[in-house]
Amino acid sequence: MNRVYNFSAGPSMLPLPVLEKAASELCCYGDSGMSVMEMSHRSPAYEAIIAEAQALIRELMNIPDNYKVLFLQGGASTQFAAVPLNLMNKNHKADYIVSGQFSKKAWKEAQKYGDAKCIASSEDKNNTYIPQITRADIRPDADYVHVCFNNTIYGTKFNYIPDTGDIPLVADMSSCIMSEPVDVTKFSVIYAGAQKNIAPAGLTIVIVREDLLGQSRADIPVMLDWKTQADNDSMYNTPPCYPIYMAKLVFEWIKELGGLEAMKAYNIKKCKVLYDYLDNQSYYIAPVEKEYRSMMNVTFVTGDADLDKKFAKEADAAGFKNIKGHRSVGGMRASIYNAMPIEGVEKLIAFMDAFAKNNPKNA
């Protein structure tokens, strides 16, 4: 077995012990005589799996009892519509901070359902920073405020939690969920596609404060109604059974490491070696303003599109996969989610250094 370092932004690496455990019970889970993939979602064996996944995410993220955790399908992108359909139903207004492509997509989707306003944007500097907003920027009658907490494509992260007062704060945390502890009580809704930090694609996590359930528009598709999903323990229809099982294994892995504080310490250590390297040389440029740097997605360029291309190609051949930046921004992006070991980052730095020496820029 020759596993590469996969720097993909998502789907991305899963912890090897998790894959090995899944492999060991792939064909026969416990004494059930069947794979988790073949089980009825209403069977006692599966009910134990989903209950354990629920209990573990609550424990690890310290989620208070007045929040529901939903295991849904459709990806974070489906929540771009579900959020307004569930919440934009009092004053039909919502405020969006647009700090990258996913928040822009979310904002565009919400415009279909009401008055969705972009109250701050970082597009003026190619999303290399996070706009700072205060209560004064928020419309007092907004039904909610939406943020994308970690911008996967640009490699920026909120370094503060916007104070929205009594107005619900909704956060897309697809690319940073469980990378560190967050104070869930500061948010009304947190949602995330699982394929970056939690599980294979197919599972979407929604964490929603209970008092926000039951306010949805009458014409909401039943599958998007958080209340329906909450009332049915995410089993209104068949849930994404296997990704939920994989999420449970990942949660167990995080717990074994020492929980989210330990995960955070490891992630800080990991991204620090890379940022320290970037800050102490002049070949590569890291475009993101320092205080908004993401722990999970590290972007850099050589300043020469041809060299960037060569870098991505040679990195790939050397076993550093998917390091090419998003097609819309170019350059490079090393996504170093929870499952990326620090050795992967250290070896990448050695590769970067050698590449810089072997490919001098014509000044």
Ligand X SMILES: *Cc1c(COP(=O)(O)O)cnc(C)c1O
Which residues in this chain contact ligand X in the complex, by CB under 6 A? 10, 75-77, 102, 148, 152, 172, 174-175, 193, 196
Q: Smaller CB distance to ligand X: residue 202 or 344?
A: 202
Please say whether the beta carbons of 230 and 270 come within 8 A. no
Q: Smaller CB distance to ligand X: residue 82 or 148?
A: 148
Closest CB 201 distance from ligand X, rounded Å: 7
Q: Smaller CB distance to ligand X: residue 339 or 352?
A: 339
Residues 6 or more apart whose CB falls under 8 angstroms from that of 90 comprise 143, 215
Q: Smaller CB distance to ligand X: residue 156 or 302?
A: 156
Q: Smaller CB distance to ligand X: residue 49 or 72?
A: 72
Closest CB 141 distance from ligand X, rounded Å: 27
Closest CB 298 distance from ligand X, rounded Å: 14
DSSP string, 50-104: HHHHHHHHHHHHT--TTEEEEEESSHHHHHHHHHHHHH--SSSEEEEEE-SHHHH
User: How many Å apart are CA 40 and CA 36, to the nearest integer?
Assistant: 9
Q: Smaller CB distance to ligand X: residue 76 or 189?
A: 76
Closest CB 48 distance from ligand X, rounded Å: 27
Instruction: Using CA atoms of 363, 276, 7, 342 in order, give the dihedral in degrees to the nearest 10.
Output: 140
Phi, psi of 85 (to 5 degrees): -65, -30
Which residues on adjacent β-strands are paired with residue 52?
none
Closest CB 105 distance from ligand X, rounded Å: 7
Q: Smaller CB distance to ligand X: residue 77 or 359?
A: 77
Pair of tokens at residue 241: 């059974």
Closest CB 108 distance from ligand X, rounded Å: 13
User: How many Å apart are CA 189 and CA 86, to the nearest integer?
Assistant: 11
User: Which DSSP helix (H) or strand (E) runs through 193?
Assistant: strand 189-193
Helix residue ranges per DSSP H, the chain:
16-24, 44-61, 75-87, 101-110, 226-231, 241-257, 259-279, 305-317, 342-358
Closest CB 318 distance from ligand X, rounded Å: 26
